[in-house]
Homo-oligomer: A and B are copies of this chain.
Amino acid sequence: MVNRLGALDAAFLYVEESTLPMHVGSVMIFQPPAEGFDYDRFVAVVGDRIAGHARYRQRIRPVPARLDNPVWVDDVHFDLTYHVRRSALPAPGSGIELEDFVARIMARPLDRDRPLWEAYFVEGMADGTFAIITKVHQAMVDGIHAVDLAHLIIDPEAVPVDQRAGEPNPEPSHLRLVADAVLGSVINPARVIQGVRAGLGDVGETGRRAVETTGRVVSTLARVGAKPAPSSPLNAPVGAARRYVMVETDLDDYRQVRSRLTRGRYVDDVTINDVILATVTGALRCWMQTRGLPVTGASKVRAMVPVSIVNGTGDQLTDAAMTACFIDLPIGENTPSMRLHQISFAMRQQIESASAEGVDAGSLASIGGFAPPTLHSLGARLGSAMSRRLSNLVITNVPGPQQALYVEGSRLCETYPVMPLGREQGLAIGLTSYDGKVYFGLNGDRETLADLGLLAQCIEDALAELRTTPGSGRSY
């Protein structure tokens, strides 16, 4: 039986450009066990963990003349040591050298003639730690047929995919309906593909046209009113080179901000996710002011925030588990607590309209294994499928487990996502909370975000500002 790519997966391939590679990354830092850990052992671990996951040994084979979507075929020349690579940092092997290395690795598209992933084993880190960097194409990780590589590596009890094979596919999400409307039988597929290739834009844009054509209304797009995002210095043509900066913060700081600023009857309405978004808002405000750009009371930055909409203990991490919230971050508001409450109010509205049962963004934390990388991948898929014109940037925040995890005896110390940039979106922010910390991965275009390090500093400052701002449970 032919194993054909879904419409959405195929679309990710068609719209990919040399300056906008559509892969998701992760940066993980490990403390090796006393007996050590090396590249050969890592190759063996990866080989074991991908054994039950066919996508990691399959490549894309296009159909001649693009008469149909490409198919997945086994890579008969599969070459594990091509995919799993050994590298090292220059001295002193600090965060700066690691960030430079990540920026270079992530800027490069994956080889379309091979399985669409790479993993780097990085030596030469300060303090004897080592890093693992993964790159996985968005066309691969749909949650049903493949989970993210970092998810596979970290969790020793990962459910092998073949145990799930017999389960029915989940109900299609809005996203999948849009995608099917785009590239399915509703309209001439060749014409759509031509449109996509001619630069009509991203998948969401094409989807919107298709939807208009057929008269359907998609609730996700309706929610935001389908009006373009405000103009922003974040949005400029994106080149091939990147900058990458990692920021580590304490989860307790966000908890304290929440408990201090949300006394009274609103205490349950504000989530940790809201506090994190308020921190990013304060950071963007500070960054723009430092750049000397005008910030007025009405200034906004619209963020697309993928949110999980399945509850509790389910383990179906698929596209259907995610929905897009569009939040106008109030960077013009000068009171930190007001920023938080405006964000909290907007998020609640969005989530309630997206889901019959309101769920909070932390609801997936109880899923077995180290799910954040797969959730980041699903978030990136959603971000790429939505029209870029509807938001200024994508922020994915995925709660992770709060106890230490290991891979073959090596303790996972830090974990940072690397979210892909979109067309004319010079910045993407990914966050993962893990073992008491919140880890920001800032991915930026090398030119547009030449001062990405400044933005990182602004994140720390904005969190400190929230922590010291006067408490007010009645601020709205």
Contacts and interface: CB of A to CB of B under 8 A. Distances in A.
A87 B87 CA distance: 9
Contact of A104 (B85, B88, B123): B85
Given A91-B123, A124-B124, A240-B113, A86 B100 contact: yes
Contacts of A39: 90
A113 B239 contact: yes
Contacts of A240: 111, 113
A476 interface: no
Contact of A239 (B88, B111, B123): B111
Interface residues of A, number: 26
A123 B90 contact: yes
A91 B90 contact: no
A88 B91 contact: yes
Contacts of A79: 446-447
B108 A108 contact: yes
A237 to B, nearest CB: 10
B241 A88 contact: no
Interface string A417-447: 0000000000000000000000000000011
B447 A88 contact: no
A277 interface: no
A82 B113 contact: no
A77 interface: yes
Q: Which of A19, A88, A108 has the most CB of B within 10 A?
A: A88
A134 B79 CA distance: 27
A375 interface: no
Contacts of A241: 82, 111, 114
A88 B85 contact: no
A89 interface: yes
A427 to B, nearest CB: 18
Interface SS of chain A: loop
Q: Which of A90, A100, A114 has the most CB of B within 10 A?
A: A90
Nearest to A122: B90
Contacts of A111: 239-241
A284 B404 CA distance: 55
Interface string A62-105: 00000000000000010100100111111100000100100010
A393 to B, nearest CB: 22
Interface in A1-39: 19, 39
A247 to B, nearest CB: 22
A447 B75 CA distance: 13
A447 B77 contact: yes
B86 A88 contact: no
Contacts of A88: 88-91, 124
Interface string A101-127: 000100010010110000000011000
A90 B87 contact: yes
A426 to B, nearest CB: 14
Given A89-B88, A108-B108, A111-B239, A446 B123 contact: no
Contacts of A446: 79, 82
A25 B79 CA distance: 25
A120 B42 CA distance: 27
Contacts of A91: 88, 123-124
A91 B97 CA distance: 17
A90 B124 contact: yes
A19 B91 CA distance: 33
Interface string A41-64: 000000000000000000000000
Closest 3 CB pairs of A and B: A88-B90, A88-B88, A111-B240
Given A82-B446, A90-B123, A90-B124, 19 more contacts: A19-B113, A39-B90, A77-B447, A79-B446, A79-B447, A85-B104, A86-B90, A86-B97, A87-B90, A88-B88, A88-B90, A88-B91, A88-B124, A91-B123, A91-B124, A111-B239, A111-B240, A114-B241, A124-B124
Interface of A: 19, 39, 77, 79, 82, 85-91, 97, 100, 104, 108, 111, 113-114, 123-124, 239-241, 446-447
17 contacts: A19-B113, A39-B90, A82-B241, A85-B104, A86-B90, A86-B100, A87-B90, A88-B88, A88-B90, A88-B124, A90-B123, A91-B123, A91-B124, A108-B108, A111-B239, A111-B241, A114-B241
